Chain A
Amino acid sequence: DTGVSQNPRHKITKRGQNVTFRCDPISEHNRLYWYRQTLGQGPEFLTYFQNEAQLEKSRLLSDRFSAERPKGSFSTLEIQRTEQGDSAMYLCASSLPRAGNTIYFGEGSWLTVV
């Protein structure tokens, strides 16, 4: 394993449907982050975990969004009742917990809500 893995890479869904994205971090990294990026913007922080504990959630993470990391390894991000405004790239990243450690990003999962 050489990097952060995300799947699916692309998802097209109808408005109102639920979608789930999966992230597998670099194996020894106990911090895992989710970001959202829309066209022409930088990534925006959504939430992060240290091991299985969700330590912080952005106000961008509405009640339709839920993220889990049940065993402190992979994580899932679920979006319920998708809306067209949810269309974006969802990026996962991982790192070791100390300041100064590199935060590595995955290739992202594109979501298009039609």
Chain B
Amino acid sequence: SQELEQSPQSLIVQEGKNLTINCTSSKTLYGLYWYKQKYGEGLIFLMMLQKGGEEKSHEKITAKLDEKKQQSSLHITASQPSHAGIYLCGADPKAGTASKLTFGTGTRLQVTL
């Protein structure tokens, strides 16, 4: 079965600093989803990447997919307190299915003033 490892597990950054979260898969990545979660709440969709080399941005968040390395990264520029939360990556196990996702254990981000 596919496993996703996220690094770092937790991160504390000062407001205004940049940061990167990585998600590495044990198997080929066919579709990679990034979600954000506040404690005790549901998952908020951020971005989905499908093709190797694909890069997407939304506001100050950029995600990239490196198919060869079976890895995705999430980069936040000029972090703000509103970016605090748990970031989760989820992967599609098969090409062309969108059936179920396997998730990493999450990266906990704190942004200090």
Are A105's CB and B96's CB within 8 A?
no
Are A42's CB and B103's CB within 8 A?
yes
Interface on chain B toward A: helix, strand, loop, or mixed SS?
loop
- In Å, the complex CA distance between A105 and B88 comes to 13
Q: Which one of A4, A40, A95 has the greatest number of beta carbons of chain B within 10 Å?
A: A40
Chain A residues closer than 8 Å to B68, beta-carbon distance:
none
* A103 and B101 in contact, given A42-B88, A43-B88 (Cβ under 8 angstroms): yes
Chain A residues closer than 8 Å to B35, beta-carbon distance:
105
A-B contact count (CB 8 A): 71
* A100 and B31 in contact, given A31-B98, A33-B100, A43-B88 (Cβ under 8 angstroms): yes
A67 within 8 A of partner (CB) = no
Q: B12-20, B42-50, B56-64, B73-81: which lies at the A interface?
A: B42-50
* A100 and B103 in contact, given A91-B43, A106-B42, A107-B42 (Cβ under 8 angstroms): no
- In Å, the complex CA distance between A108 and B96 comes to 27
Are B105's CB and A42's CB within 8 A?
yes
A74 within 8 A of partner (CB) = no
Separation in Å of the B53 CB from the closest CB of chain A?
Answer: 16
Are B98's CB and A41's CB within 8 A?
no
- In Å, the complex CA distance between A104 and B90 comes to 12
Are A45's CB and B102's CB within 8 A?
yes
Contact with A along B16-35 (1 / 0, CB 8 A): 00000000000000110101
Contact with B along A63-99 (1 / 0, CB 8 A): 0000000000000000000000000010101011111
Known A-B contacts: A42-B88, A99-B96. Give 19 more (CB < 8 A): A31-B98, A40-B105, A41-B106, A42-B105, A44-B103, A45-B100, A45-B102, A48-B100, A89-B40, A97-B98, A99-B50, A99-B97, A102-B33, A102-B48, A103-B45, A103-B101, A105-B43, A108-B42, A110-B40
A-B contact pairs, 5 of them (CB 8 A): A40-B106, A42-B90, A99-B31, A103-B45, A105-B35
Taking Cβ atoms with an 8 Å cutoff, the residues of A that contact B are 4, 6, 31, 33, 40-45, 48, 55-56, 89, 91, 93, 95-108, 110
5 tightest A-B contacts by CB? A42-B103, A105-B43, A107-B42, A45-B100, A99-B98
